[in-house]
Every structure is written in C-alpha cells, then in structure tokens.
Structure 1
C-alpha cells in the first residue's frame, strides 16, 4: 500500500536517498528524501498550474475540496491504521482528527461559495467631481501564487498534508507543495493519494498539489528559498519556525511566512474563582495539561494565582491527577527527549520547587508539576519557555499588582485564560486591555485545549506565538493568508476576473 515516493505533478517519483519511518507498532517503511531537484520540479509544476487554477470558478474549487474530503473518508480505515503505527495516537483520536480534516475542507467549500471572503468593493466613477474626477475603482482579493506547507508533528491529519493550511490555500486558488513531516510519512502518503484522486476526478492541472518527503532540514530550506514560492504555512517549534522565517525574509524577493510556533497559554486564576472551586479547578486544569500527553500547542502550561490557602488546595488537586497519569508515548522519540531535557532544565532552577517529577524513557513520558513565585518568574525569563508535553508550572503571586505586572511582561501567546467569579470584575477589567494585546484568543472559565474550526476562531497571536499577528491558522479567516487585494481602475468588464461579478 505504501510506495515511499514523492507525488510531483501527477506522478509518484522516487529519489536516490531514503529514510526509514520510526513506527511505534507495525512495519517500518522506506521513503525517498527530497532534494533541491524534486523541490524545483514540484514548484515549477505549481507555477504552471497557478494561472489556470487561479482563474477557476469558486464552484470548481469548492467541488475539488469536497472531493478531497470524500476520498479521505473512503480511505479512513487505512489512514487511521498507518497513523496509529507511526504516531502511537489512539484510534478514537485519529478518527476524530479525520473528521476535523474533512470538516475543514467542506467548511472552506462553503466559504468560497459564499464569496464574502473576497471583500469586493466598488467606488463608481465620479467624472463630474470637482476639482478632480474620480475613476471607477473595483477591489477584490486574488490568490498569491504557489504556497509551501509544512506538515505538523502533533496533528498528522488536521495540520498536515490536507490540513488547514492546504485547505485554505487551495480554496484561495493557490497550488500547494507540502513538505510532509518525517514522523508520519506513511500517513502523509495515504492522504496525498486521496488528493491525487480528487485532482484526476475534477480534471484539474496536476501541478495543483505535490507532496515531498524527507527527514532533513535541507529539503525545507530549498522549498522556502525557491523563487517561485509565494508564501509559506508552518506549524512547529519556535526554533525551526524562526529559522524558516528568517530565510523567507532574506530572500531576494521576501515572502510572508505564516508560522504557528506555540506558547505557554497562561491561565490567570482570580481570587474568587479560587475560593469557589479551588480543588475542582486544579484537577480540571491538570487534566487539560495532560490531555493528549500535553502535545497540543494550546496546552495551558502555566497558572498564575494569588498565594492563599485556596491555591494550596488547587495544587493538591492537580497533583493527584498528575500522579495518576501513567507514562504514555509521545509522537516521536525526539520529542520525548526534548521534553525530558526541558523538564530537567526547569527543575534545576533555584527558585523552582519540584512537586512531581517522573522518569522518562524512550518515547514514554510522565507528568511533571512545579511551583515558583511571581518574583522568581519575573526575574528568570528562561522558565517562561514552552515545555511541550504534560508539564505544568504554578506561579504563586503576591498580590493583584504583581499579577497585573506579570501579564504586562508576557510575550505573545496563542491563548490567555481568566478564571473568575462575579466579585473579580474590577481585576478582570484591569487585565483585559493587557491580555488582548498578548493573545489571539482570550477565554473565561474554560481551558484552551480544543480549537473550534469556525468563522470566529483565531489561532495565532503576537510573536513568538506566531510570526504574523494579523493571521489565524484555524477557521475560515485563515484563507486571507494566501490572498492579496488588487484594485482595478477604469478596467473594462471583459478584462476583470470573473469573481468581480459572479
């Protein structure tokens, strides 16, 4: 079932260098490693396809997205089976992620059929206006060109080959070249086969989609630096994303890099929320932190709360949940090693108290819980780094003034959460103007794990949460990343894009 090759311009193409997938169960497979040669073939094909695809009707693109969804559903058993082998994720989680992936594709089909995303504007000519006449002006959003997409490690479907970046780019009218993640290459190939079938059924140019496999940085570097790539969508680590972002900026023709890089997603527990439900809140937070072995970019890894007896109750309840968390497999051995190293670093700080530190081995990791003071948090910025995994830090804050100062000094986040009671209104109002500058999504009395795919969702935030604070990688607004406004002045109707009028 697995051929282990790239999919380029409608063909399955092998290259001489290969790597072997690291499966948790089942058979490991050999896959081609792409080079600058395969990158050029894929991007040249995408550029060739762009002219026709960009001029296609919204209905044609909607049917294409729906056909991709249909083909993924037809292969769901095979996709889930190999994804379980490669990632160790449970069947139910992967079936749910398949549903999210197909749901995103179908949602974008509805979005482009609706047409509001085009932001069409028209200022009619005013030839008699004095002192100067006004020309006829029409504005519409147009696709930017070939888009490079990097598959994410922690979502092998919803943020990967046919995930949100690919769906939104194709919906916009942009061909896509995907760099598949080396943690799940077989899953990537199976999904690529679904897209390939959809291309054939819909009669689209073969270069509208390509998949490149590989396990080295050179492949990603070549893709980002290719002069015909017009934008990049990325979900991954701060270090890797920043390196690619810098490459995009250093090109002779700089291009936008839409990177979602993660965050600690702080939770502010205000005094009356803690009084009302300290124990329940602590256990619920701990369950959120350990959900999915903590491998979510919205994992709420840090809590700030006033240092009171209620906070002790919160910590005790969280500790019970985390002690009961059995060691579980992370997505890759490399991620498990990085998690272990990050936890060792946190525990080494003088001002950090270890509440729970469990041993890790190979891909299996346990939960970790630490506490520190607001003063130490402010003085030691290195403990602010994201720990990707089931790790939580609780910060004992001296008073409301220190809580506000901590909020002011936060870097950009994907989410910020407030837990509050009715009597916390004044403190919450003081925090809100600060937090809305820090995060793309602000929650009240909930937890951020679980990102709804809909019109209103923002999954992004100020740097370093993401590299473009005006964008989202989830929800229908994500299509804006791969469009740019074009104004047509005194343009004859026959020369205008059909979408100006349809």
Structure 2
C-alpha cells in the first residue's frame, strides 16, 4: 500500500503541502495516490540522519552488510504482485519486463552481498617495513579503501527498479558502507515507495542504524538540488539526460567542498556495418536491428541510435529493408507523456536537418503515449557538417549515415561525442582491415561489441557501463557490475600504524 509520504529514515512523513500524481501512460490518466514533495526541513533531517548513521554503518562488518542486502532482496520479492502491478501501472511497460527487471534488481543486491563477504574488493595493498634498508629505512605501509559518506541516488525514468530505489547505485553504495538517500523519480513514485518500504523493513530486521536509507519525493528540481548542495552529502549517483546530469555535476563542483557526481547520461551507441556484412546478410541484420531499435520502445541508454556504413551497391536496399521492418513492428507505449513529447521533438530536430531523409515512419495515428518508430538517413558529409545530427532521440529511432569511403567513416567516428557502446558488424575475412576502425571506436566508447547488438547490459565484473563525456561524467568508472562499488570509496594509506588501530581489512 502506498501512502505518498517520504521515508525519513524509518519514519513516514509528509510535512509539506505540494503534491503530485504519477501517470498511467497506457490509459493516459493520473494514478490515484498523491505524493508529497519533501520539504527543506525533511531533506535536512534525512541527510543529518544519514550522517549520524554513517558513523556506525561504516564500521558494520561485510558479513552484516551482506545480510542487509540479502534481506532487501527478500523483502522486494515479498512485495510480490503488488509491486509488479504498480510498476506496470506507472510505466506502461509489460508485466514480463517488470518481472525481468525485478529479477535483475535481486541479482544485483545478491551479487554485492557476495562481493563484500570478504575484504578483497577494497584492493588492499601491503608493503612490509624494511628497517635495515640503506640509506633510509622503509616504514610499514598499508592501503585500503574506505566509504565516502552519505550518497544521494536519483532514480532513473526508464528503469523503475534496476536503476532506481534499490537499483545498482543504491546496492553498490550500501555495500561499500555508505548510507543512501534516494530522490525517487516522479514518474514512478509509487513503485519507489513500495521498494523503499522493503529496504526499511530489511534495515530494521538486520539491525542497521536509522538513517542508513531514506526515500524522498520531488516533482521538480528543488529536492535534488538541496540534496546535492548539502554539505554532509559526499557523492551522487544519477542516470538520465545530459541536461539533468550536467546540472547536478555543476552544482556539486560549485560547493565549498566539491563532491563526485557519477552520472550516466546521453548515448546514441554507434553501430558500424561493413558493406561486406550488408552484402552477405542484409536481411538478417535488418531484422536484428529493427528488433533492437524498437526493444522497450527504444527507451534504453544502449539503444542503437546511429548506424554507420560505407555507401555501396546494396546500402540503400539494406536501409529500406531496415526501415520497413522497423515500422512494421507495432507501436508501443512510452513511459510518460513527457517522454513521448521529448521523443517527437528530438526526432523532428534530426529529421528536419539539411540532407536528412526520412526513409520510413509509422504514419498511422497511434494512441496518445505510443511512439511511431522512424528511420532517417543522411550522407557522411552532411552528418560531419552538422552537430545537431548527434542529438539523442530517446525512443524507437535510428539515423543511418552513409560515408563515401573508409576515411570519411573514420572521420565520423573520431568526431562523435563520448558513447556508452560502439558496435562493429563485419565478416571474418575483414578482420585485418578493421584495426583503424577499432582504434577510433575505442577512443569514443566504454564498451565495444562485435557482431551483436548494444541493447542488453550484463551484470558482471567485466562489464563497463560508462564512457567519455557525455556518456558519463567519469569514464574510469562503471555504473553496472560489481566494480561499480569503486565509485563510493576512496583509498587511504596507513604508515607505521599499530595493529590495534588499523582497519580490519589490513590488520
């Protein structure tokens, strides 16, 4: 049952008068519950509670923190169909997607629980003392990683579970020993409150300090801004738009004590398809990429929004086939009226540029929040001359660029903004000719894919989900996989310290 209130630590509160409602995008109506925007006093109370909790939680053993994470997973599962129904009502996404995303959320929590059962994840380093070394003795030096402090997580619009209240950012920060304050995404605040109730119950049952977790509502930017500017907040996790992520990054940098913002933002995920690949398997590639472009109504950060190839005899036939197959897939519901409006606006921006040709678009009238898929093509020359062609269109849209030769293709890749992924579709007998393309793409992306699709992000230690700006604010870190825990800690060296005073990890 949802109340619309804020979890300030373990207590539900609603001190303010400003409220909002979520939307059922399929029915295009507001959902019944009114959610209360957190007040400035409630923001301060949540952060102060988190700061006090940090003094205790940072010293809680890995085994106990792991039990907490596993308990969160258990409590989310215990919400059962109530959570699934709320998810689908607020997102327009199907029940199968809800179940899959819940499963990923549970897997993430349990993966971090397993990781912190021992202290190896801290990258501990030991350098033994050498008192007899000449000309100067060497002191005993040991290095470990310690948690930063309270972390603010801003929920993502397109993943109501896996990148939101108890998603990857929250799970990794709690695993690291950092209390978390979630600013719930206003598009799915009901889902957020249900998950928050599971986290709070798990915290109580496992004896975690009050304030280790809070969940705040906010329909505008005020709550997020207040959290990021609060001096007791020490790091921020964000998944969303370039504009939103950059605004948070700037706020954090302007503080008296700047703090890191780990933001995953825009990406059009370039896909390079060689003419030989088109010649040998044009129809299969068109089917594969029509499915990838429209998967989840194109509302993935790894949606293939840009296809690059060298113009050849069969290039236009492939583009036409891709377009026909894409628009043949039935229009699907988007997450929210604002998401639909952004999709239409950004799609029009790209398709209206000089040299752009709309190859195919669903022309039939669709329901209010459903997305008409679209394929647009342009020459390599026109793409290079117009930065607006790199506009991310969040939805079932892809731009196909026809380079005149490999040199122009390399220029296009080199001129791209930073991306989460880059894909190469090629034949085995072309491997020797691909090195320059690989080198150029490697400089622009965080993950390279060969003969596959970028949609789908495996949760494992080798996953890199981040890339050069604006894909993320710090390309050295990943937002997915167990290595994402490194965002919430910092290294500290201890020199000539008595064993009794050393952290457990390096005693």
| TM bracket, shorter-chain basis | over 0.9
Counterpart position of 1:55: 59
Counterpart position of 1:426: 432
Name the stretch that deviates more: 190-199 or 358-367.
Answer: 358-367
Counterpart position of 1:91: 95
**Structure 2 segments unaligned to the other structure (5+ residues):** none
Would you say the 8 A contact 1:150–1:181 is kept in 2?
A: yes
Query: Which aligned pairs between 1:10-159 and structure 2 lie closer than 5 A?
Result: 10-16=10-16, 17-24=18-25, 25=27, 27-159=31-163
Would you say the 8 A contact 2:275–2:311 is kept in 1?
A: no
Would you say the 8 A contact 2:349–2:388 is kept in 1?
A: no
Counterpart position of 1:346: 350
Counterpart position of 2:422: 416
Name the stretch that deviates more: 255-264 or 356-365.
Answer: 356-365
Q: State the secondary structure of the residue aligned to 2:66.
A: helix
Cα distance between partner residues in 2 of 1:427 and 1:367: 34
**Offset, 1:134:** 1.0
**Offset, 1:168:** 0.2
1:286 and 2:287 matched: no
Cα distance between partner residues in 1 of 2:325 and 2:187: 29
Name the stretch that deviates more: 126-135 or 159-168.
Answer: 126-135
Would you say the 8 A contact 1:36–1:223 is kept in 2?
A: no
Counterpart position of 1:459: 465
**Offset, 1:270:** 1.6
Cα distance between partner residues in 2 of 1:434 and 1:307: 19
1:238 and 2:238 matched: no
Would you say the 8 A contact 1:5–1:32 is kept in 2?
A: yes
Cα distance between partner residues in 1 of 2:368 and 2:408: 40
Q: State the secondary structure of the residue aligned to 2:335.
A: coil
Name the stretch that deviates more: 116-125 or 225-234.
Answer: 116-125
1:446 and 2:456 matched: no
Counterpart position of 1:5: 5
**Offset, 1:357:** 2.9
Query: Which aligned pairs between 1:131-280 and structure 2 lie closer than 5 A?
Result: 131-280=135-284
Q: 1:402 aligns with which of 408, 426, 437?
A: 408
Q: State the secondary structure of the residue aligned to 2:20.
A: strand
Q: 1:493 aligns with which of 487, 495, 499?
A: 499
Cα distance between partner residues in 2 of 1:76 and 1:154: 21
Cα distance between partner residues in 1 of 2:367 and 2:391: 22
Would you say the 8 A contact 1:76–1:98 is kept in 2?
A: no
**Structure 1 segments unaligned to the other structure (5+ residues):** none
Would you say the 8 A contact 1:22–1:28 is kept in 2?
A: no
Name the stretch that deviates more: 342-351 or 192-201.
Answer: 342-351
**Offset, 1:427:** 2.9
Q: State the secondary structure of the residue aligned to 2:377.
A: strand
Question: TM-score under structure 1 normalisation?
Answer: 0.98
Q: Deviations over 1:65-116 (max 9, x none)?
A: 0000000011131111011111111000000000000000000011111432
Q: Deviations over 1:321-367 (max 9, x none)?
A: 22212222110100100100011111211210111233566312110
**Offset, 1:385:** 1.3
Cα distance between partner residues in 2 of 1:62 and 1:168: 11
Name the stretch that deviates more: 22-31 or 153-162.
Answer: 22-31
Moved over 4 A (4+): none
Cα distance between partner residues in 1 of 2:441 and 2:126: 37
Cα distance between partner residues in 2 of 1:272 and 1:328: 33
Q: Deviations over 1:50-69 (max 9, x none)?
A: 01110110000011000000
Name the stretch that deviates more: 450-459 or 21-30.
Answer: 21-30
Cα distance between partner residues in 1 of 2:384 and 2:80: 48
Q: Deviations over 1:152-175 (max 9, x none)?
A: 000000000000000000000000
Between the two proteins, the alignment pairs up a number of residues equal to 501
Counterpart position of 1:393: 399
Counterpart position of 1:305: 309
Cα distance between partner residues in 1 of 2:221 and 2:478: 25
Question: TM-score under structure 2 normalisation?
Answer: 0.97
Cα distance between partner residues in 2 of 1:437 and 1:304: 17
